[in-house]
């Protein structure tokens, strides 16, 4: 499978990165191992996780996703063949206080290394900006890990354009390690969190871009088309908001283009991201073997300019259409 370079870093990845948030949440350990085996066999070599990924609401231990990935890599003896991405700074659970202080991040990195059962992390992200810690403090913490080889590259996720720009400027001015990859929420339904200022900064600084929620938490698979479809679904809180006129236009466009290529709506949605300016590789999750088919479809499909324009128009944010 053709590999994609992440910005100016030395990292290369498969064209789609697997989102490890499902490990320990919607997939137990046995199911996670099966999914990881199938991914590797298909040629997908990059896994994105975070220290907070687990079924925290039901008491599953903090860091369960990392533990599962680490146990799998050790059992299969595949550490040198897998690109591992993880994150810290999000606090003890999703939605809690963020912390990018030197002491917190130092402990977070060491804990992730232990859970992943590895002596290095390929790409480590500041998960969220806490808005208070001086940006150089996080970079100084990472400097020590980079110097010892425990972290190979660093990235930023969910930063504002202002804080991302400031981080890059200070890294350059103070000779600190710069963020080389950015991870925004970005998909056909959520475009404003990347397009515009963030996209420009990433382009100007040759940052790799790996969007998360690439399928809008499953909405872009086409399986959610009425309120009844959300009943009993884990992802209802993430996806129900997209069931509006704009969402229906996007699904209609995905239906038409997927029929044209005899492929899935998810495959088309991922292919759109792969073809967007500046995007290196989207992050996507799967819970069933059948879902992985959309990964290979997206990696192989070459959308035409007309196809891209249809999707761009259908997904254009409502405020843009009023201008």
Radius of gyration of the chain (CA): 19
Classify burial at 78, counting beta carbons within 10 Å of its beta carbon; exposed 0-12, middle 13-18, buried 19 or more.
middle
Q: Is the dihedral of CA 268, 269, 270, 271 positive or negative?
A: positive
Check residue 23 and report its DSSP letter.
Answer: B
Collapsing DSSP to helix, strand or coil, 185 comes out as strand
Closest CA to 263 of 293, 229, 240, 284: 293
Three state DSSP letters for 270-291: HHHHHCCCCCCCCEECCCCHHH
Q: Is 212 a catalytic residue?
A: no
Catalytic, out of 53, 124, 186, 194:
53
Q: Which two tokens stand for residue 9?
A: 């870093």
Closest CA to 76 of 113, 114, 38, 103: 38
Helix residue ranges per DSSP H, 148-274: 161-173, 197-204, 236-239, 245-261, 265-274
Helix residue ranges per DSSP H, the chain: 29-42, 64-76, 102-116, 135-147, 161-173, 197-204, 236-239, 245-261, 265-274, 293-300, 305-315, 318-321
Contact criterion met (CB below 8 Å) for 270 and 298: yes
Residues catalogued as catalytic: 53
């Amino acid at each position: 499978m053709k590999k994609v370079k992440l910005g100016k870093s030395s990292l290369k990845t498969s064209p789609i990165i697997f989102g490890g948030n499902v490990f320990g949440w919607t997939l137990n350990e046995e199911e996670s191992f099966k999914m990881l085996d199938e991914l590797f066999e298909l040629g997908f070599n990059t896994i994105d996780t975070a220290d907070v990924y687990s079924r925290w609401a039901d008491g599953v231990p903090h860091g369960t996703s990392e533990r599962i990935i680490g146990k799998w890599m050790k059992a299969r003896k595949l550490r040198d063949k897998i690109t591992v991405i993880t994150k810290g700074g999000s606090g003890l659970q999703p939605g809690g206080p963020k912390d990018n202080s030197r002491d917190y991040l130092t402990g977070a990195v060491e804990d992730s290394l232990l859970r992943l059962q590895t002596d290095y992390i390929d790409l480590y992200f500041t998960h969220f900006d806490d808005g208070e810690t001086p940006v150089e403090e996080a970079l100084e913490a990472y400097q020590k890990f980079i110097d010892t080889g425990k972290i190979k590259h660093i990235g930023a996720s969910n930063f504002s354009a202002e804080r991302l720009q400031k981080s890059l400027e200070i890294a350059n001015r103070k000779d600190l390690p710069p963020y080389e990859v950015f991870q925004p929420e970005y998909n056909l339904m959520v475009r404003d969190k990347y397009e515009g200022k963030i996209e420009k900064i990433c382009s100007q600084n040759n940052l790799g871009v790996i969007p998360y929620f690439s399928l809008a938490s499953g909405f872009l698979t086409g399986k959610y088309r009425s309120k009844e479809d959300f009943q009993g679904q884990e992802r209802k809180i993430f996806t129900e908001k997209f069931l509006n006129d704009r969402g229906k236009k996007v699904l209609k466009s995905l239906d038409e283009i997927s029929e044209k290529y005899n492929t899935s709506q998810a495959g088309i949605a991922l292919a759109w991201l792969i073809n967007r300016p500046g995007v290196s590789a989207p992050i996507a999750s799967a819970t069933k073997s059948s879902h992985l088919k959309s990964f290979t479809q997206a990696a192989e499909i070459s959308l035409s300019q007309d196809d891209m324009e249809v999707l761009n128009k259908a997904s254009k944010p409502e405020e843009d259409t009023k201008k």
